[in-house]
Amino acid sequence: MKKYFEFKKGIFSKPQYIRAVDGVSFSVNKGTTLGVVGESGSGKTTLGLTILRLIEPTSGIILFNGRDIMHLNRDELKWFRRSTGIVFQDPYSSLNPRMRVKEILERPLKIHTDYDEKTRSEIIVKTLEEVGLSEEHLMRYPHELSGGQQQRVAIARAIILKPLLVVLDEPTSSLDVSVQAQILNLLLDLQSKHELTYIFITHDLLTARHISDYIMVMYAGKVVEYSTTREVFTNTKHPYTLSLLSSIPIPDPKLKSRRRIEITGEPPSPLNPPKGCRFHPRCPYAIEMCKLKEPELLEYSKEHFVACHRASELDFTELLKDITSFFA
């Protein structure tokens, strides 16, 4: 059994055509994690919200279990909401400040099931324990919990109905480093326990590497590279991915002179993306063709898609040596 999402769309919102996500296409298999990596403004959050139909795409189709989610009737939409969940970056703002934890977790059950009061509280307590909280947190308000605990409640809300797909929008970015690791491991545990499918949105390649089976790198609303996590880390093909990789600090004192690929400038405005390759004004490897023609996302090798004119001629093995040897 495979679950299949396909995605092809561009968001053109009036009046100025902000191309938040433009012509992105991918699929996620059941029980796996797709990491979506990109800097702020690259369209990754928009992508996540669109997949769950929380905002409407301008065009394109999204298939969930073989069904196009843009054309669901009332019951099907309810089923879709039941089968998906979302966790946001800021846990405090994602929980209703006027609801106690119990009520926050009870709402999905009340909407989608007809369990009685007793069954509901059993499920709530069980889910709370699964995310590392306990009965004592039931009657608390969100502001009475720590950031990590709030995020656990948000995760509990997303998984309480055993969904098929969970979109994780930077779920660890606003937490302390020690808590980040706990939350990541919790997410991995839950995934193997319930066979969850994750779309993990992050700006941090290392976090993505920790949790993802596949990684998709986005730049200015476009996918620049997409492959298995291993391929992206060891056989990087796109200069933008390379620059992200070389910005990862390597905790090795023996490593004295490390060659970094530094890019300058700001990411382009989505209102007015540069002609040709959107990365060319910042790309150290840009040639004349990059300014003229936008590269397509092509399958460079099996399961490895790159959108770069020079993908086949550039070889970053030497540059990546430090990092690949460190993560090997």
Partner 1 sequence: MIRLISERIKLLSNNETFKLFLTYKRGIIGLLLLSLMVFLALTADFIAPKKFDEVDPSSRLLPPSIKYLFGTDHLGRDVFSRVIYGARIALWVGLLVVLVEAGIGVPLGLLAGFYGGRVDKFISAITDLIWAFPPIVLALAIVTILGPGLTNVVVAVAVVSWAPYTRVVRAKTLSIISREFIIAARAIGESSFSIMLRYILPNTLPPIIVLATLTIPSAILYTTALSFLGFGAQPPTPDWGLMLSEGRDYIFKAPWCCVFPGLFITLTALSFNLLGDALREVLDPKLRYG
Binding residue for partner 1, selected from 85, 148, 273, 276, defined by CB under 8 A: 85
Report the residue number, 150 or 236, with the smaller CB distance to partner 1.
150
State whether residue 229 is helix, strand or coil.
helix
Report the residue number, 86 or 319, with the smaller CB distance to partner 1.
86
Report the residue number, 121 or 174, with the smaller CB distance to partner 1.
174
Please compute, for residue 104, the number of CA atoms within 13 A of its CA located in the half-sphere on the CB side.
28
Report the residue number, 70 or 99, with the smaller CB distance to partner 1.
99
CA distance 199 to 48: 8
Structure tokens at 158: 């997303």
Minimum Å gap between C-beta 244 and partner 1 is 26
Helices of type H across the chain: 44-51, 74-83, 101-112, 117-130, 147-159, 177-194, 205-211, 229-234, 239-246, 288-292, 317-327
Interface with partner 1 by CB under 8 A: which range of 47-55, 62-70, 118-126, 246-254? 47-55
The yes or no reply on residue 107 touching partner 1 (CB under 8 A) is yes
Minimum Å gap between C-beta 95 and partner 1 is 6
Bridge partners of 299? 305
Report the residue number, 94 or 202, with the smaller CB distance to partner 1.
94
Count of Cβ atoms closer than 10 Å to residue 105 Cβ:
22
Report the residue number, 127 or 243, with the smaller CB distance to partner 1.
127
Sort strands 197-202 and 67-68 into parallel, antiparallel or unpaired. Answer: unpaired
Structure tokens at 243: 């620059």
Size of the site for partner 1 (CB under 8 A): 27
Where in 119-158 is the site for partner 1 (CB under 8 A)? 143, 154, 157-158
Minimum Å gap between C-beta 88 and partner 1 is 5
Given the structure tokens 């200015």, which residue do they identify? Answer: 220
By the criterion CB under 8 A, which residues form the site for partner 1? 49, 52, 54, 77-78, 81-82, 84-86, 88, 90, 93-99, 107-108, 111-112, 143, 154, 157-158
